[in-house]
Amino acid sequence: MQLKTALLSTAVLAALAGLSFHAAHTDTQATHAGTAPRPDAVRSAAGLTASAMPAASQTARARHTLSNLSAGTGARPGSELAAASESPAQADSSPAANRVRDLLNGAAAEEVHRVAADAFAARDVMIDRDGTEHVRMERSYQGLPVVGGDFVVHSQNGELKSISQGDNMRTFGRPDIQPRISAAQAGKQAASAFDGTVNSVDNAGLVVYAQGTEPTLAYQMELRGDRRNDQAPGRFTSYVDAHTGSVLHSEDRVQTAAAAGTGKSIIYGDVGIVTDSVSGGFRLIDPNRGNGATYDANNESDKNYGSGYPNATLFTDADNLWGNNAASDRASAATDAHYGVAVTWDYYKNVHGRNGIFNDGNGVRSVVHVGTNYVNAFWYNDNANIKYMAYGDGDGTTYNPLVAIDVAGHEMTHGITSATAKLGYYSIKDTGGINEGISDIFGTLVEFYANNASDPGDYLIGEKVYKSNPSGTAALRVMFKQDADGKSKVCYPSTGFTAFQTYKGGTYDPHNTSGVLNRVFYLASEGAVVPAGFGYTKAQLVCNNDTGIVGVGRDKIGAIMYRALTRYFVSSTTYPQARTWTLQAASDLYGANSPEYATLARAWSAAKVN
C-alpha cells in the first residue's frame, strides 16, 4: 500500500525555492495596445521609477534563494537564472519590460522595423544573475495582434545587447486594416480547407498575419471538427486573408508524439506516486506538483476534446493502491502517466528551476484512455485557456498505452514550448521540426533523469510503448539516425524545409524534420559514437564525414537547449537561426572559446546546418 506522501523513488529530494518575479509597479504605465503613442510619449509613460533604477538593483530585488542551477555543468558564473515572470501580465508590468519599451523607441526601433502604429507587450521575462535581461515581446499594429511579430530583447544595465527575431517582420510595410470580405465568408473558406466534417467555425477577430508572408490583414478563425480517418482532435486555427479570402495558414492545435509510431503501472512496475487524501479515500491529484490531476476519458472519442474531455472522471481509490500492472485495471495506465508527469515536473524544477509548464506553480490535467485503439499521445492548448495532455491506449497488439516517461516528457515539453517560444508546427518552414526535436530532446533528458531500472536512459523515443521489443532497438524515433524509419530527414537541405511540404503527413512533416535537431543533440552530447545494439558506422551518424566529434555530455547540451528555447527562440525560428541562437546560449553559459561551443558548432555542421 502506497502512502499519500510517498515521493517518486527516483525524484530528487531537495527542492528549489520558487522563481517568483516581483515586479515593481509605477504610477504610470506604458501603453501596451491600440495605436502606439508618439515615441516621446512612450518614453515618458514608461516611468522614471523603473528606468532610473540600475538594472542590477532591479535584479537584486527580484532574486530568491536558489541553488546553482548550473551545478555540474561547469557553466559560467552569472549565467544562472535569478528570476523569471510567472504570467504575461506580471511580465508586462515589470521594470524590465518598461526598459525594453524605452529601447524600442530608440536603439532597437529600426532593428525590429517599428512603425508609428506598432505597440508592444511583454509576455515573458527572464533575468540572469549577472543582470542580463531577456524580455519576450508580442507586437500589435493599430490594436490588432501581429501573428509572427514576436521577438526577444536581450539587454544589460539598460543597454541593448541583441534581439532574437524571425524573418517575418523585416519590413516597414503594414496592411490596410479594413477587411474586404465578411467574417462569414472567411469562415466558409476556413471550413472548405478542412479535411473532415466541420462542427463549428468561430471568428476570433482580425489579426495581422506575418509568418512566411508580407504582413497581411486576416481573420483568425477557430475551427472544430472530426478529421477524416484520424482519431486526433480536429482543432485548427485558420488565418484567412481579409482582402482576398485565401487561406494563408491553418495551424493544427494538436501536437502529437507521433502516429503509430507511468502504483502498479504497466510499463514501470511498482512506483511511488504522490496522491491527494480526501474523506473516504484518495484522488490521483499531486499536491506537491501544482495539483496536477489524472483523469479517465473512458475511451471517449475526440468530440469533446475542445473542452478538455469534460466528461472524463478523476481517478479515485480507497486504499491508495493503484492498478494491477496490467491493462485490465484502468488505473494501471493512469499510474504510468501520473508518474511520468511527476518525473518531468521534477526534472524541469530541479535542473532548470522551472516551476511547472507555465512557471506559475500550477499543474495540468492528464487524460488517459482517449479514443479506441488510439496509438498516439498529444498536448492540447487552444486560445480559450484549455490545456491538457492526452494518452491513447495503443492498439492492444503492437503498442502499449502511450504513457512512457519519454512520451510524458515529450508532451509536457510541448506545453513549455507553447509557453515560451511558441514555435510553430505545421506549414511553417523548419519550425515544426525544431518544435518536435525540442520535445524529443527533453523527453530523452527526462528519461535519463528518472534513472528508472525498468527504462534506462537512451536516445530512443517511445521504445517502451512496444508490447514486444526484445532487442530494445524498436522506437518511434531513433535520435542519432532518425532516417532509419525511411522517411525522416537528418541532413538539412541547402534550401531548408519548404513550408508547403510541412503539412501533417507531408514530406517535411515535423516528426520527420525533427531528425536534424535530434542528430545535433546526440552528436554534441555523445559524439560520433554508435550506441550498443546498432550496426551503423560512424560515417552514417554524420552528414559531412566528421567522425571525430567527441561529445561534451547531455546535461551541458540540455542546458544550452533550454536556454536557447526560453531566451532566444521565437515562433518562426529556422534551423540556421537555431544554430546561431544555440551557439549564443553556449557562449552565454560556457564562453565562445569553450569546448562546449566548438563541439556544438561541429554537431550543427555534421547535420549540414551552417
What size, in residues, is the chain? 610
Contact call for residues 114 and 104 (beta carbons, < 8 A):
yes
Which of the following is catalytic: 436, 511, 526, 596? 511
CA-based Rg of the chain, rounded to a whole angstrom? Answer: 24
C-alpha 4: how far from chain center = 31
What ranges in 497-546 are assigned the alpha helix state H? 510-526
Q: Catalytic pick from 80, 411, 463, 596?
A: 411
Per DSSP, helices labelled H in 225-382 are: 330-352
32, 121 Cβ separation under 8 angstroms: yes
Residue with cell 493503484: 322
According to DSSP, the residues that pair with 100 across neighbouring strands are none
One-letter amino acid for residue 76 of the chain:
R
Rounded to 5 degrees, φ, ψ at 527 are: 85, 180
Q: What is the DSSP letter of 6?
A: P
Q: Where are the beta strands (DSSP E) in 186-252?
A: 196-209, 216-227, 233-241, 247-252
Per residue in 372-393, is it b (16+ CB within 10 Å) or e — as a string? eebbbbbbbbbeeebbbbbbbb
The burial class, CB within 10 Å (0-12 / 13-18 / 19+), for 243 is: middle
511 annotated active-site:
yes
Q: Which H or E run contains 391? A: strand 387-392
Q: Which amino acid is at 1?
A: M
Q: Annotated catalytic sites, by residue? A: 411, 511
